Chain A
């Protein structure tokens, strides 16, 4: 094992340990801030399968975040079901179903046309959430009742204790499982095929790969991740609303991926972490976080397209 891989493992182990210890040592405020980070990390793992590994940039992935979040909300408010496991499975299933349809239409196009199609589909869903208020609650959205974790009813706990305790570890477990699974996916023959398609679709086709089919599979997998991440976003705020599906949300998650580094497996997770905590820091000083983040995005695009991971790699000999 090279020194570099060892260092990578050491950093990963330290990060994992830190994540386990956070609820014990950090103030509740920062523990709660970890929740959206972990939800977005799951979303971005999926998005990067499409962006970094397949070379397709979706500008409509917020659609699947919203599908997942609303699936969970719908179950808690319209049925008696409160099991979080059922919510996650429902989110994943609906996300896959929606993506199978949308993806089949989108993956026939690449580059800017793919981006535009996904954006259009995202806005269709946004408008649907906004206008069909009987089903979706319109612009006020829907309430998410506190889900039961592993069948245990935790309604009696104070909200912060619930979120910073059992719910935190539940999200962490989902994130770790999602990461391991994605690691297997990108290092499987399937992942290798995706990279071949990204680098040279014509050659991949000539080698006998069904390019469109592979892209479609990658699209569906990434949407399932987005939907599961979306379902994790609901319970901490206790509410879901249509802005989850708006096109700027899709832009922000692409931004997070780029910030961390789309060329690296862990880049998007780092991107989500830096985005969430930096946003919190900036907003505690000035209300204009978009100005600062826009400037950061411009600097990254122009000077460091590899993102933070790219900078680290460059700094090391």
Chain B
């Protein structure tokens, strides 16, 4: 069950990575940093909420709200940096997101210091239940449900709304979309912000279960990277299946043979890249 909880969080970050890669063709290394940012903002938001005397039962509201709002910082990164390099080689785009990783790691250290931060005691605020012979915190179930809801919501957004149609059209053929009157700059800014907000929300939601550390971003990015490679770059369904696979496999590996934990996942990533570079759900785009 802890594997599924982890998968739910991973899905959010990976979905953010996918939507950005699908439309902008940029592999955003900084998505892990946004995840860390969301986590710290989540801790602070809950801290203020508790100081203001809010009932503990509703702590998830300021947590999620803080996580979503700080996602708006994505627009700064996109308009301030990334928009200059869309016509460049992807190596430079990748390196620019690496620059964002470096900067954000220190910005987080400057703001929140180097010691880990956590929301003391709120994890079990909703109690625990017995499920399939294991004791599961209800909070985990809430996050899993929220993640599923967001997965459905993303599917609806992409398939049914006009914004979703524009996104898909741009992902398919950006010149044609532009010729048909799509304002690329606006679409890119919105898509990047959407991707960022998914990452920061993931970071905020994970925080009651763990502690916020400044290295959490660069550690998560490699897991999210594994998820999108297994699932297929740019595919939302791939992110879902990939996250589930990585989350559950990791939990099983930890239980059976701890040394294998991440090693197993990277080996699967390599196997997928070699045998099926487009991933399990990737489409045949170059």
Contact = CB atoms under 8 A, between A and B. Distances in A.
Interface string B87-102: 0101110111011111
A164 to B, nearest CB: 31
Q: Is the interface of B mostly helix, strand, loop or mixed?
A: helix
Contact of B266 (A105, A123, A294): A123
Interface in B1-53: 27, 29
A121 interface: yes
Contacts of A105: 270, 274
Contacts, number: 112
A192 interface: no
Given A112-B90, A117-B273, A124-B263, A295 B225 contact: no
B265 to A, nearest CB: 9
Contacts of B267: 124
Q: Is the interface of A mostly helix, strand, loop or mixed?
A: helix
Nearest to A117: B273
A302 B96 contact: yes
A132 B259 contact: yes
B110 A288 contact: yes
A247 B221 CA distance: 10
A309 B196 CA distance: 35
Given A124-B263, A294-B102, A258 B95 contact: yes
B98 A297 contact: yes
A116 B259 contact: no
A293 B102 contact: yes
B266 A290 contact: no
Contact of A123 (B92, B99, B262): B262
B262 A127 contact: yes
Interface residues of B, number: 42
Interface stretch (A139-147, A223-231, A248-256, A269-277): A248-256
A302 B92 CA distance: 8
B109 A288 contact: yes
Interface residues of A, number: 39
A287 B113 CA distance: 12
Nearest to B107: A291
Nearest to B277: A113
B197 to A, nearest CB: 22
B99 A112 contact: no
Contact of B229 (A57, A120, A251): A120
Interface in A286-317: 287-291, 293-295, 297-298, 301-302, 305
B33 to A, nearest CB: 10
Nearest to B103: A294
Contact of A298 (B99, B229, B258): B99
B225 A119 contact: yes
Given A120-B266, A123-B266, A132-B259, A294 B225 contact: no
Contacts of A293: 102
A163 B85 CA distance: 43
A115 interface: yes
B81 interface: yes
Nearest to A295: B103
B106 A288 contact: yes
A131 interface: yes
Nearest to A289: B106
B241 interface: no
A203 interface: no
Interface of B: 27, 29, 81, 84-85, 88, 90-92, 94-96, 98-107, 109-110, 218, 222, 225-226, 229, 258-263, 266-267, 269-270, 273-274, 277
24 contacts: A109-B277, A111-B90, A112-B27, A115-B94, A117-B274, A119-B222, A119-B225, A121-B270, A131-B261, A247-B222, A248-B218, A255-B95, A255-B98, A287-B109, A290-B102, A291-B106, A291-B110, A293-B102, A294-B100, A294-B102, A297-B96, A301-B92, A302-B96, A305-B92
Interface of A: 57, 59, 105, 108-109, 111-113, 115-117, 119-121, 123-124, 127-128, 131-132, 247-248, 251, 254-255, 258, 287-291, 293-295, 297-298, 301-302, 305
| Nearest 10 CB-CB pairings of A with B | A294-B102, A294-B103, A291-B106, A297-B99, A288-B106, A298-B99, A290-B102, A290-B106, A131-B259, A124-B266
